[in-house]
Amino acid sequence: MKKTGLLHAELSQVIAAMGHGDVLVIGDAGLPVPAGVRRIDLALMQGVPTVAQVLQAVLGELQVEHALLAQESLGQNGDDGDTLPEWYLQQGVLLPAAPTIVTHAELKRRSQQACAVIRTGEYTPYANIGLVSGVVF
């Protein structure tokens, strides 16, 4: 039995197989998973697990070069619309300084080429992130 880190076997295998530039998407409960893309369904019930929880676990294992966020996710904190969502800010120290902002439609288009899409129990609209794999050297 594995002692530490990510315990989910399927998710751990996907991350171990990723190369530089590959994309892993973490999505809310409603994000469509394109046909032919591997789905890792972690959704247990509304809010379980959250995108923030899954993101934290993945960031402990994956070297991220940059992240992709949907423009529509900005301003979810009840502010002026330019602030990164709280679930992203919670992991900011582990993520690249600034995410690449794309439209939600573009994020869904890019998910067609993802290694996998992880479905969470998150019910926050547009709580989706694409993680582009970096290298550790």
Q: What is the mean pLDDT of residues 75-89?
A: 76
Give the separation between CA 31 and CA 115, rounded to whole angstroms: 15
Q: What is the mean pLDDT of residues 93-107?
A: 88
Nearest residue to 104 (alpha-carbon basis) of 85, 129, 86, 81: 129
Strand segments, DSSP code E, in 10-135 are: 23-27, 38-41, 64-70, 100-102, 116-119, 129-133
Query: In this model, does residue 81 exceed pLDDT 70?
Result: no
27/90: higher pLDDT = 27
The answer to whether residue 8 is catalytic is no
Q: Model pTM? A: 0.93
Catalytic residue of the set 8, 20, 66, 104: 20
Whole-angstrom CA distances from 56 to 36, 51, 124 are 26, 8, 17
Query: In this model, does residue 111 exceed pLDDT 90?
Result: yes
Q: What is the mean pLDDT of residues 82-95?
A: 81
Rg of the chain's alpha carbons, rounded to an integer?
Answer: 14
Query: In this model, does residue 79 exceed pLDDT 70?
Result: no
Query: In this model, does residue 87 exceed pLDDT 90?
Result: no
Nearest residue to 135 (alpha-carbon basis) of 18, 40, 5: 18
The residue type of 47 is: G
What confidence score (pLDDT) does residue 77 get? 61
Q: Which one-letter DSSP state was computed for residue 31?
A: P
Query: In this model, does residue 99 exceed pLDDT 80?
Result: yes
Q: What is the mean pLDDT of residues 127-132?
A: 97
> Coil, strand or helix: which one is 63?
coil
Give me the chain's average pLDDT, please. 92
